[in-house]
Amino acid sequence: MSEAQIKLIETLKKQGIANKKIIAAIVNTPRHLFVESVLKNRAYENKPLPIGYNQTISQPYIVAKMSQVILEEENMDRVLEIGTGSGYQAAVLSNFFKKVYTIERIKPLYNKTSQLLKNMNYKNIECFFGDGFEGLNLYAPFDAIMITASPSSIPEILIKQLKPSGRIIMPLNDKGKQKLLRIKKNKSGLLKKIIDDVFFVPMLEGTQS
C-alpha cells in the first residue's frame, strides 16, 4: 500500500468503518484506476472527484459506509447498483456479492466504465445502459439494491424488484436535503432507518446518449 492509501484507511477507521471485510475491499480496489489519469495522485484523498459528464466518483468514506450498511451475514447473492459512474462502488461490492448488476443512464459513461471493468477482469459485475427508475426486471428479485444518485421519492419499482426480506440503501432527497436511508423490506411493509447526511448528484429519469 502507498502512504496515501494507508492514511485513507486510518481515516476511514476513525470515521467508524470497523468491518474488516469493508477495509479489505477498500484496500483491494485500486481507486486510482477509476479516476481520470490527471487526478491519479489525488485518488486516495477522502474526497469525491469529477469523472466527466458532470458526475463524480463518491467519497471513499461514503462508499465504505454504504457498503458496510448493505453487508449482511447471508443474502449476499445478487445486488443491483443504480448509477454505475466510474465503476468504483460496483468494484467494491464485487468483493461481497456473488453477482453485481449495475445500471448507468449516460451512454458514453456506460461504454467507458463497462470496458474498464472488463479490462480489469471483474467477472462478477454486469453493466447495463438504461434508466435505473425501471430497475432490472430480467435479473430480479435482488437481495439488495444500492442507489448512488439521489431520488426525491422511494422508487416503487425497485421495492418490487427486491426479495421479500431485501434491503435498499439510498440517498433520499427530502426538500433539498439528502439523507442516507436504509430500507428493509418485511411482511408488514418497509422498515426505514436514517444513516447519515449525504450529497449525491440527482437521480434523473430517462437516458442520455
The dihedral built from the CA positions of residue 89, 94, 98 and 103, taken in this order, carries a sign that is positive
Q: Which of residues 78 and 105 has its CB atom nearest to ligand SAH in the complex?
A: 105
Closest distance to ligand SAH from the beta carbon of 42 (Å): 15
Q: Which of residues 186 and 208 has its CB atom nearest to ligand SAH in the complex?
A: 208
Helices (H) and strands (E) in the chain, counts: 6, 9
Angle, to 10 degrees, between the axis of helix 20-28 and the axis of helix 60-70? 140
Mark 26-55 with x for binding to ligand SAH (rule: CB under 6 A) and - for no binding. Answer: -----------------------------x
Residues 40, 102: Cα–Cα separation, whole Å: 24
Closest distance to ligand SAH from the beta carbon of 3 (Å): 24
Mark 69-108 with x for binding to ligand SAH (rule: CB under 6 A) and - for no binding. Answer: -------------xx-xx-xx-------------xxxx--
Residues 114, 109: Cα–Cα separation, whole Å: 8
Burial track 76-92 (b if 16+ CB lie within 10 A, e otherwise): bebbbbbbbbbbbbbbb
Q: Is 58 a catalytic residue?
A: yes
Closest distance to ligand SAH from the beta carbon of 108 (Å): 10
57 interacts with ligand SAH by CB under 6 A: yes
- φ, ψ for residue 87, nearest 5 deg: 95, -5
Q: Which of residues 86 and 161 has its CB atom nearest to ligand SAH in the complex?
A: 86
61 interacts with ligand SAH by CB under 6 A: no
62 interacts with ligand SAH by CB under 6 A: no
Catalytic residue from among 2, 37, 58, 94: 58
154 interacts with ligand SAH by CB under 6 A: no
Tell the burial category of 131 from Cβ atoms under 10 Å away from its Cβ (0-12, 13-18, 19+): middle
Q: Which residues contact 75 (CB under 8 A, 6 or more apart)?
A: 143, 144, 163, 165, 166
Q: Which of residues 155 and 166 has its CB atom nearest to ligand SAH in the complex?
A: 155
Q: Cell 466527466, residue?
A: 52
Residues designated catalytic: 58
List interacting residues with ligand SAH (CB under 6 A).
55-58, 82-83, 85-86, 88-89, 103-106, 109, 131-133, 148-149, 201, 203-204
